[in-house]
Protein backbone atom coordinates (compact mmCIF):
# COMPACT_ATOMS: atom_id res chain seq x y z
CA UNK A 1 0.00 0.00 0.00
CA UNK A 2 1.90 3.06 -1.27
CA UNK A 3 -0.39 5.72 0.26
CA UNK A 4 0.34 9.14 -1.25
CA UNK A 5 3.04 9.31 -3.92
CA UNK A 6 4.56 12.58 -5.07
CA UNK A 7 6.89 13.19 -8.00
CA UNK A 8 9.47 14.53 -8.42
CA UNK A 9 11.28 14.51 -5.06
CA UNK A 10 13.55 17.42 -6.01
CA UNK A 11 13.41 20.08 -8.71
CA UNK A 12 15.39 23.18 -9.61
CA UNK A 13 13.79 25.73 -11.91
CA UNK A 14 14.84 29.05 -13.33
CA UNK A 15 12.56 32.06 -12.89
CA UNK A 16 9.81 31.97 -15.49
CA UNK A 17 9.95 28.24 -16.17
CA UNK A 18 6.87 26.09 -15.69
CA UNK A 19 6.40 22.68 -14.16
CA UNK A 20 3.76 20.32 -12.80
CA UNK A 21 4.00 18.47 -9.50
CA UNK A 22 2.25 15.13 -9.57
CA UNK A 23 0.38 13.44 -6.74
CA UNK A 24 -1.46 10.13 -6.62
CA UNK A 25 -3.16 8.26 -3.79
CA UNK A 26 -4.31 4.66 -3.69
CA UNK A 27 -6.61 4.83 -0.66
CA UNK A 28 -9.79 5.75 -2.52
CA UNK A 29 -9.95 9.08 -0.66
CA UNK A 30 -12.35 11.76 -1.86
CA UNK A 31 -10.38 14.79 -0.66
CA UNK A 32 -6.91 15.85 -1.75
CA UNK A 33 -4.76 18.84 -0.80
CA UNK A 34 -1.65 20.75 -1.75
CA UNK A 35 0.36 22.49 0.97
CA UNK A 36 3.61 24.39 0.99
CA UNK A 37 5.98 24.33 3.94
CA UNK A 38 8.26 27.26 4.63
CA UNK A 39 10.56 27.75 7.64
CA UNK A 40 8.73 29.35 10.56
CA UNK A 41 5.39 29.35 8.72
CA UNK A 42 4.24 25.79 9.04
CA UNK A 43 2.02 24.37 6.34
CA UNK A 44 -0.12 26.66 4.26
CA UNK A 45 -2.93 25.35 2.09
CA UNK A 46 -2.56 26.20 -1.60
CA UNK A 47 -5.54 24.39 -3.13
CA UNK A 48 -7.75 21.51 -2.20
CA UNK A 49 -10.24 19.22 -3.88
CA UNK A 50 -13.11 17.96 -1.76
CA UNK A 51 -14.13 15.44 -4.40
CA UNK A 52 -13.42 14.42 -7.97
CA UNK A 53 -14.31 17.25 -10.31
CA UNK A 54 -14.09 20.07 -7.74
CA UNK A 55 -11.23 22.32 -6.67
CA UNK A 56 -11.07 25.29 -4.29
CA UNK A 57 -8.52 27.89 -3.31
CA UNK A 58 -6.76 27.71 0.00
CA UNK A 59 -4.76 30.39 1.82
CA UNK A 60 -2.03 30.98 -0.79
CA UNK A 61 -3.32 30.10 -4.30
CA UNK A 62 -1.69 32.90 -6.31
CA UNK A 63 0.78 31.64 -8.91
CA UNK A 64 -0.58 28.09 -8.89
CA UNK A 65 -3.18 26.04 -10.71
CA UNK A 66 -4.47 22.57 -9.97
CA UNK A 67 -6.18 19.73 -11.77
CA UNK A 68 -8.09 16.87 -10.19
CA UNK A 69 -7.55 14.47 -13.05
CA UNK A 70 -9.53 11.63 -11.47
CA UNK A 71 -10.17 10.35 -7.96
CA UNK A 72 -6.55 9.21 -7.58
CA UNK A 73 -4.59 12.12 -9.02
CA UNK A 74 -4.27 15.80 -8.09
CA UNK A 75 -1.59 17.86 -9.83
CA UNK A 76 -0.18 21.30 -9.01
CA UNK A 77 1.13 23.53 -11.79
CA UNK A 78 3.42 26.52 -11.62
CA UNK A 79 2.98 28.42 -14.87
CA UNK A 80 5.81 30.91 -14.37
CA UNK A 81 7.98 30.06 -11.40
CA UNK A 82 9.23 32.80 -9.08
CA UNK A 83 11.91 32.65 -6.34
CA UNK A 84 9.12 33.18 -3.77
CA UNK A 85 7.82 29.74 -4.73
CA UNK A 86 10.96 28.05 -3.43
CA UNK A 87 9.52 25.71 -0.82
CA UNK A 88 8.72 22.15 0.09
CA UNK A 89 5.40 21.05 -1.36
CA UNK A 90 3.26 18.37 0.22
CA UNK A 91 0.28 16.57 -1.21
CA UNK A 92 -2.20 14.99 1.18
CA UNK A 93 -5.41 13.01 0.99
CA UNK A 94 -8.28 12.39 3.36
CA UNK A 95 -11.20 10.02 3.52
CA UNK A 96 -13.97 9.60 6.08
CA UNK A 97 -12.72 7.84 9.20
CA UNK A 98 -9.04 8.21 8.34
CA UNK A 99 -6.37 10.76 9.27
CA UNK A 100 -4.87 13.12 6.75
CA UNK A 101 -2.21 11.17 4.81
CA UNK A 102 0.82 13.01 3.44
CA UNK A 103 3.29 12.27 0.70
CA UNK A 104 7.01 12.70 1.32
CA UNK A 105 7.18 16.10 -0.35
CA UNK A 106 8.80 17.81 -3.33
CA UNK A 107 11.68 20.18 -2.63
CA UNK A 108 11.52 22.98 -5.21
CA UNK A 109 14.17 25.63 -5.69
CA UNK A 110 13.59 28.54 -8.06
CA UNK A 111 16.69 30.51 -8.99
Residues in contact with other proteins by CB under 8 A are 4, 31, 33, 35, 40-45, 48, 50, 58, 90, 92, 94, 96, 99-100, 102-105
For residue 15, the minimal CB distance to other proteins (Å) is 27
| CA 5 remoteness from chain centre | 11
Nearer to other proteins, 54 or 80 (CB): 54
For residue 63, the minimal CB distance to other proteins (Å) is 20
Residue 42: CB atoms within 10 Å? 9
For residue 80, the minimal CB distance to other proteins (Å) is 27
Nearest-angstrom CA–CA distance, 85 and 28: 30
Please report, for residues 2, 21, 33, 37, the alpha-carbon distance to residue 107 in angstroms, rounded to integers and kept in the order given: 20, 10, 17, 10
Amino acid sequence: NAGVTQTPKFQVLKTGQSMTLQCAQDMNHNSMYWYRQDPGMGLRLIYYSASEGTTDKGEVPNGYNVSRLNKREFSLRLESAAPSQTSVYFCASWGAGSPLHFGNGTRLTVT
